[in-house]
Amino acid sequence: MRTLKQVPKAGMNRIWWDLQTEPTTEARLRTNPLFSPWLGVKPEGVPAPGIGRFSMLAQPGRYTVRLTVGGQTLEQPLEVLQDPNTRASAEELRAQGAFVADVVTDIDSAVAMINRLEVLRGQLVALRATLAGDSSAADVRAAADTLDRALVVVEESLFQMKVTGRGQDDLRWPMRLAEQLVYLAQVSTGSDFGPTVPQREVQALLAGQVREARARLDRVMVGEVAAFRRFVRARNLPSLVF
């Protein structure tokens, strides 16, 4: 449900659980947003602007709190009660929880693909920089550019690659799949009631797009990426490692 870590210190230690679930996976850029080379993203990456991390309130029910410190683990039961002021039924809350769990699965799937693509494209950036002054490696740089364009085609469907996190980028450019999934999760938990029919229809549509994106990525991996690996190996150059 949630893992919280804290560095212990002498005396009384306290940590709070805000009743939120574990947040979705963080999307990290390892290349500059499109048309923004001035941003200077470093190899370790930065959180992808525009793609927030989502977590939701825990469902009413019985849980176990497990505390591990100094090699010792202690457990205590915990009951989360339903807000007495809500008009939602227990069935509606369960329906919302099951719906959001499906959306969260799709968010994490989309982010996993984004991170995979960014790692690959980050390696291409490093390879091109290494070979920048080598006149005999023009064909390698050209092949890297071609592969990068193929990866961008897949990545552009997953999130808005033009967003820099500055100014009004979020308003200037339309949301893509990952942002839309996060937004769907947010609006569907804006009340205690179950998902609406339109929300279910949107979830089904976006889930289909996640599957399509995964199929496109798989085709690029077994096609263009595999061919590029063979090409650079033949030149005794570092190959892509992801």
The residue extents of the domains of the chain are 28-61+87-234
Kindly report the backbone phi and psi dihedral angles of residue 111, in degrees, each rounded to the nearest multiple of 5, phi listed first: -65, -40
Check residue 155 and give its pLDDT.
98
Average of per-residue pLDDT across 29-33: 96
Give me the pLDDT at residue 209, please: 98
Count how many Cα atoms sit within 13 Å of the Cα of residue 240 in the half-sphere of its side chain. 25
3-state secondary structure at position 67:
strand
Q: Is the pLDDT of residue 240 over 90?
A: no
Is the pLDDT confidence value at 76 over 80? yes
241 pLDDT band, cuts 50/70/90, is low
- What confidence score (pLDDT) does residue 242 get? 59
pLDDT at 216: 97
Q: What is the mean pLDDT of residues 61-70?
A: 92
Cα 108 to Cα 120: distance, rounded to the nearest angstrom: 18
Burial 114-136 (b: 16+ CB within 10 A, else e): bbbbbbbbbbbbebbeebeeeee
Query: What mean pLDDT value characterizes the chain?
Result: 93
Please, which pLDDT band fits residue 239 given cuts at 50, 70 and 90? confident
pLDDT band at 169 (very low <50, low <70, confident <90, very high): confident
Q: Give the largest Cα separation in the chain, rounded.
A: 73
Cα gap 214→224, rounded to integer Å: 15
pLDDT > 90? residue 210: yes
45-49 CB contacts, 8 Å cutoff, 24+ apart:
45/118, 45/122, 48/114, 48/159, 49/163, 49/164, 49/165, 49/166, 49/169, 49/170
Distance of alpha carbon 97 from alpha carbon 105, whole angstroms: 12
Q: Per-residue pLDDT tens for 108-141?
A: 999 999 999 999 999 999 999 999 988 889 999 9
Structure tokens at 240: 């892509």
225, 117 contact by CB (below 8 A): no
* Entry pTM: 0.92
